[in-house]
Amino acid sequence: MATTVRDTIKEITRKHLTEDLGKCYGQCLTAVGWVGGTLPEMYEEDGMVEFSMADVAGGSIATGIALAGGRPLYVVRYQGFQWYNLVSVVNYAAKSKEIWGRPCPIFVRSIAMEGGVGPVAGSSHHSLAQRMPGIKVLAPMTPGEYQFAYDSFMADDDPYYISEHRKSYDNDKELPDVLHDTKVDFTWFPISITRLEMEKVMELANKENIKINIFHQLWIKPFDVLPEWTESLKNSRFGGLVTDDDYVEGAASSIANELSLASRKNVWTLGLEPRTAGFHPTVDNLPPSAEKIVEKLKQIKYGI
């Protein structure tokens, strides 16, 4: 049976608690579901520590634990709650090494989801962390990427913001880049859950006679433009597109700007609509689907 992202996170947590002598902190960790099945069924005596429901306090406690020499896994069940939880992580943990020479390594599991969860809890909010110096931000969507993120954290002394998405938990496949030998119409740079639309986007794009190269984005910060991305953009007739599960006025726009400067090509963005999500499907705010992504490419290509 193939290993899923869920299995990978669960095994990482078990190993962290039993072999690396670390602890896992957060709210409702041992409640029904064990955070989407990503936690082993372990309890406080094993290193699974339940925080109170005071959101701001959790990040501050995790920061203090890291300053005292620990390497906490800190679970925030909804990324939208980072507006409260992330205060001490970005304003103290991320700055501690630069200002005082004292590292503060925290592995922040920030979990996104959509679908009737309202105006605060839903979607990704990695742009909150992306703008702050001293923190590293990754959005793993495959088992191998998640293992890489954890291994990088354990070999580093910086705080890590891991932008997860619950829809990735069942994924057991790696997501290869897609490259064509000849000129293409677009180069697509998907982030987070929009990456799982790859196969459908390619299918719909082929029907519209739109040829695209695809480069999956794991690192959000630091963001380094790779030579093959620049070359692909230069060989793209209509430039590039960055898609995200966050509002575009943040990480997506920043990444698009870097890509555009490096290639001297137009790079567009597509993410959440600029409006507040409600609790009913008719007023929800979902990440761009394959249909919306291809529609955006058509608008650019054909000027419609």
Residue 137, token pair as written in the block: 């931000």
What's the pLDDT band for 79 if we cut at 50, 70, 90? Answer: very high
- For residues 113-127, one letter each, b for 16 or more C-beta atoms within 10 angstroms of the residue's C-beta and e for the rest, the string is bbeebeeebbbbbbb
Contacts of 229-232 with C-beta under 8 Å, sequence gap 24+, read: 229/187, 229/189, 229/259, 229/262, 229/263, 230/259, 230/262, 230/263, 232/179, 232/184, 232/187
Q: Is residue 178 part of a domain?
A: no
Residue 276 and residue 211 share a domain: yes
Amino acid at 89: V
pLDDT in tens, 247-280: 999 999 999 999 999 999 999 999 999 999 999 8
* Domain around 229: 186-302
The answer to whether residue 304 scores a pLDDT higher than 80 is no
Residue 177 within any structural domain of the chain: no
pLDDT at 63 over 80: yes
Cβ neighbours for 264, distance < 8 A, ≥ 6 positions apart: 234
> Does residue 190 sit in the same domain as residue 110?
no
The answer on pLDDT for 1 being more than 80 is no
CATH number of the domain encompassing residue 21: 3.40.50.970
| 224-235 average pLDDT score | 97
Residue ending a domain, choose from 168, 202, 227: 168
> 208 and 99 in one domain?
no
Percentage above 90 pLDDT, the chain = 92
Residues 133 and 208 reside in one and the same domain: no
Integer-rounded Cα Rg, in Å, for the chain is 19
Taking a C-beta distance cutoff of 8 angstroms, is the pair 223, 257 a contact? no
Same domain, 104 and 200: no
Whether residue 108 is contained in a domain is answered as yes
Q: How confident is the model at residue 55 (pLDDT cuts 50, 70, 90)?
A: confident
Residue 253: inside a domain: yes
Do 259 and 296 sit in the same domain of this protein? yes
Give domain status of residue 38, yes or no: yes
Choosing from 168, 198, 221, the residue where a domain stops is: 168
Give how far Cα 204 sits from Cα of 38, 74, 252, 297, Å: 33, 39, 23, 11
Instruction: For the chain, give the percent of residues with pLDDT over 70.
Output: 100
- 3-state SS class at 50: strand
Rounded Cα distance, 223 and 130, in Å: 10
pLDDT in tens, 169-199: 999 999 999 999 889 999 999 999 999 999 9
**Average pLDDT over the chain, rounded to whole?**
96
How many domains, the chain?
A: 2
Over 90: is that where the pLDDT of 281 sits? no
